[in-house]
Amino acid sequence: MAAIVNKSEKPALTDSQKRIFQFICKYIQQSGYPPAIRDIGKAFDIASPNGVMCHLRALQKKGYIQRDEKNEERGGRARSITIPGVSAGGFSLPLLGVVAAGKTIEAVEQDERLEMRELFNQDNLYVLKVRGTSMIESQIADGDFVIIKKQETADNGEKVVAMVDKAMTLKKFYKRKDHIRLEPCNSNMDPIIVDPAKESVAVLGVLVGVIRKC
């Protein structure tokens, strides 16, 4: 998605400035937040943070980006960069540290962000909302959001989203010689047995994560 920029009202960019501007736009769209100064430096082989800042100041002066310099930290993430018309397509949250679920630990503040795509370290992800209780013994409850990696194959025992005759279901996958077994993680429910010769069945993706709103 291209940035919405009225170039007739802005000075032209140099080739270097144009590449950096496009890099920042794409980074925001994919990650949900601006790149770190070190990220820009690494992408364009600029060794000095001051070198990156010179480009940012030029982009700001020409009206392509907006910055709050007081909130920028030396060598840190240029979180104060905003670009009119560029929306975030990723999703991230502040990662402030580690909390103990057992013995207490010292609180050490962090200044990072947790980006969902980086957390699962893969592309082709999508999210589905769970309806029903067939997976409760795998800690997947009604109303949870499951993160699925889009793929058409799965290993036995993996939790998959499968399409059976136009009906979608989340189950454990087992491929046998003459049938496919879709096993619930709920001892009160029976498995779904599918004969591929008689019914349409396809794997739509494999479970990689669960999100629960408390």
Active-site positions read 134, 171
Task: Please compute Rg for the chain using Cα positions.
Answer: 24
Phi-psi map region of 133: left, alpha, beta (phi>0 left; psi -120 to 50 alpha): alpha
Distance CA 72, CA 54 (A): 14
Cβ atoms of 5 and 86 within 8 Å: the answer is no
What DSSP element (H or E) covers 213? none
| Distance (Å, whole) CA 61 – CA 57 | 6
